[in-house]
Structure 1
Amino acid sequence: MNFNHLRAPLAVLPLALIAAYSHAQTTPAPSLPVTVVTATRVAQPLTDVVADVTIVDRDTIDRSGATGLADLLGQLPGVSFVRNGGPGATTSVYLRGAETRFTAVFIDGVRIDSQSTGGASWNAIPLSQIDRIEVVRGPAAAVYGSDALGGVIQIFTRKGEAGFSPSIEMGFGSHGTRKLSAALSGQQGAVDYALGVSRETSDGFNAQPDSNPDEDGYRSTAVSGRLGWQLNAAHRLDASLLDSEMDAQYDAFSPGNDDHGQSDLQTLGLNWSAKWSDVYSSKLGVTRGKDRYETSPSSYVTDTSVTSYLWQNNVTLGASQVTVALERREDHLDNASTTPVISERSQNALALGYALRSGVHTLQLNARRDDDSEFGGHSTGSAAYALGFAPNWRAIVSVGTAFRAPTLYQRFSAYGLPSLQPETSRNVEGGVKYEERGNSFSVIAYRNKVSDLITYVSGPGDCANGSGDYAGCYGNTANAQYSGLTVAAARRFGLLALSGSLDVQDPKDLATGNQLARRAKQTAKLAATLPVAGWTVGAETEFVGKRFDDAKNTKELDRYSLVNLSVSTVVAKDWTLLGRIDNLADEDYETAKGYATAGRTFYVGLKWAPN
């Protein structure tokens, strides 16, 4: 990997944070242990998790002032995103440089995916409804099955707690942006509840100034709800729902048209958790995720539904835990423009897990067998070990395999190839981690090699329709490797909170040696917050290295640096004023060739949340 292109000031930021650990004498305030669910599908303290994990809570989301979910995720170590215009436009999120379809995404435990493009519709997930995010970097197919080659992102909406907690937020910003949201949550006896609604509109800006002179705005409406019923001390029922509709203007191939892309994302979940004894507990769940996308005036509709059934059993034996899960996934695709020959498929799976925490040793073993109705069976496995070599310090090492099944569109549409095989990966990583009362430091090196990468090959080909008359078709034509090093740290010095990360990676096509499109080899981020005279002041800086917009590395995307500022203050009892300026220096940059970014923008909001 080439370190030469990283600017010196940003390259030393994580090193400065390391040095701060050696010299700081400040004792952080005590806090409750942080619990993680996503790493193994079993709740466990963060200090017991071997995987490379980042947690984002609601307070962090509020302080960030991020425009959308991708903007928030882009502030985290090992995460980057690309967007074709404004917040409502098509968005890709890369974990450790892996394709956006290589991240398994869940909302309240409900898997969302597209059997057309592959991957989640990031622009349709409403940030206003999110209470917590868990990001697991590294393959997790041995736990979750297909899709998790790069990692897993689990999104949680608000959950009811004791008392009654209402809130209202309103705000406005650049490009005619207007936001209004309301939420309430609480608990009454054995029942807890949460409900949230939001509306966001923006006039937008011209996403493609060289080809289409119109502004590209968006309209977004979302509602979420969760209901829990503690039947008794051992049994609990949970239900969740989310419905998010996005109508975003975009620039298509015909200048002058008022093109719209309409997204509708829905999730429904019902789960029964039972603790049968001190040794045995179980969870039974039925979930459904729906992802619909339609364009106008040009006619294109694609509609995916993913229905999942999960029966998970946990047995705790002293310092060890055994997990046995049976899971069924059913995918359905309706694609009006090129209807697949086969529009349904299913996967049945058996997953086994073993976890041990004994003294300074932590061990995590997982194995899974998925049987797909179309391409047959596929086995995955992982092994992870951590050694506590000093107080709050651990050395970790892990290996794992993963796969992603081809989408129904890739195999059976007019552009598909029925003989496509799953994309597979082999990952190895290792490093050191420090965790203590909200302070953290980690250095993780990884190498994830992907075989049978599916790409679209231009030109006449032998596609699913058998005629070969189309402009091209999908094929298992490439191999890729995502290797790199992530350094991340967070530390509080009295009232000053600092966090930063440095990613040096080499996402490349193994056949050509070229850098994979739209992914940088160097990224550095630094954030700070500090209370000043009744205000909480925040600043973020980000540097992104050179990228290429195409696989042949002929269309270069320049490196760029961004600075964002945020402030908040209590203006009256229960009332908080929020302000944010993004891209303070009005940097002119692109994440995708030919697509503009917003430039300098501001947002001012007012939030009412009684204590």
Structure 2
Amino acid sequence: MSQIIVWFWYLVFMWLVSFCSTTRFALAAEESQGKADSERRLSASITDFFLGSKGEEGKIPTADTITVIASRLPSFRTRLSDIPANVSYVPANITIKSKTELERADVRMFQESIRDIEGSIFYDQVGNGLDTTFSLRGFSEGSSIIVLMDGVRVNELDGDAVNYPLVPIHDVEFIQIERGSASPIYGSGAFGGVVNIITRKPSPKQISLFGGAEASSFKGFRLNQGASGTIKDKVTPIGGNVTYYFDMGRDQSEGFRENGEWRITSLDTKLGYE
């Protein structure tokens, strides 16, 4: 009987030893598997960080292509005649001052030529008639108005002000004033509007002389003279035309009050090839 009991406890002991060994091996294998999984997850995370997750790959949705085409203002053709394009067809508030209107108004300074347009206000803070401040619809030239001369911006870099006395009014062909925001076309600074000054083009003749002289009260006078023309290119094989324009002027006055005099000398030159 005692031997049976001894063998029984011996089998129980051996079973416990075998069970513990199996459990320890399973735990070690599970720990090794978990460590390998952790290493694989870490490696995958690092790869996804630099290369992007494969789960996020896919076709990027895109919209249909939109083509925007700008065109010039068209003319209208009828059975009787062709109706040319007119500024009244443009969906914008635009005023154009032609050369004829400027000569009829007999303006002396550029500011006087646009003083009567809609929405314009001038402030003569100095009192000499030259250094005036221009605003359009309440927006000043120093922040929200762009002034162009033949497409070139003439606003000063510091403050965006414009030196109007340097604009030769006798060389102006026409003036276009656009009221309202024009920043999508002309860039920043055109929230209030744009004043585009177009000067005289060279004459199609080989040489054309022009000039003028005026006198006014307070010992004032204005004098300008110049020449322009088009010369056929006979030197190069291109066979184009050389255009030139030269104008020089002098404007001065003693002013209507003390220390209100001014003296302005202007020089305008153009040289082109067509």
Report the TM range for the smaller structure's normalisation.
0.5 to 0.7
Q: Which residue of structure 1 aligns with residue 138 of structure 2?
A: 97
TM-score normalised over the length of structure 2: 0.61
Q: Which amino acid aligns with 2:262?
A: Y
1:176-575 alignment runs, 5 A limit: 176-189=219-232, 190-206=241-257, 214-230=258-274
1:126 is aligned to 2:168 = yes
Q: Which amino acid aligns with 2:218?
A: H
Displacement, 1:32?
9.4
TM-score normalised over the length of structure 1: 0.28
Select 1:141's aligned residue among 183, 187, 198.
Answer: 183
Q: Which amino acid aligns with 2:200?
A: R
Distance 1:65 1:166 in 2: 21
Distance 1:106 1:187 in 2: 25
Q: Which residue of structure 1 aligns with residue 7 of structure 2?
A: none
Distance 1:173 1:142 in 2: 44
Distance 1:180 1:115 in 2: 30
Distance 1:33 1:79, change over 3 A: farther
Distance 1:135 1:117 in 2: 21
Distance 2:210 2:203 in 1: 14
Select the structure that is richer in helix: 2
For residues 411-442 of structure 1, the C-alpha deviation after alignment (integer angstroms, 9 at most, x for no partner) is xxxxxxxxxxxxxxxxxxxxxxxxxxxxxxxx
Displacement, 1:205?
2.3
Select the structure that is richer in strand: 1
Q: Which amino acid aligns with 2:265?
A: T
Q: Which amino acid aligns with 1:217?
A: E
Q: Which amino acid aligns with 1:117?
A: G
Compute the RMSD of aligned alpha carbons. 2.3
Displacement, 1:55?
1.3
Select 1:61's aligned residue among 52, 77, 102.
Answer: 102
Displacement, 1:68?
0.7
State how many pairs are aligned: 183
- Of structures 1 and 2, the one with the larger relative CO (CA 8 A, separation 6+) is 1
Displacement, 1:195?
1.7
1:169 is aligned to 2:209 = no
| Identity level (%) | 27
1:38-117 alignment runs, 5 A limit: 46-83=87-124, 84-88=126-130, 90-101=131-142, 102-117=144-159
Q: Which amino acid aligns with 1:46?
A: V
Displacement, 1:135?
0.9
Q: Which amino acid aligns with 1:184?
A: A
Give structure 1 stretches of 5+ with no counterpart. Answer: 1-29, 35-44, 207-213, 231-611
Distance 2:204 2:170 in 1: 22
Displacement, 1:202?
0.5
Displacement, 1:48?
4.3
For residues 179-218 of structure 1, the C-alpha deviation after alignment (integer angstroms, 9 at most, x for no partner) is 1011322223322322211101111122xxxxxxx33100
Distance 1:104 1:228, change over 3 A: same
Distance 1:70 1:176 in 2: 21
Larger Rg: 2
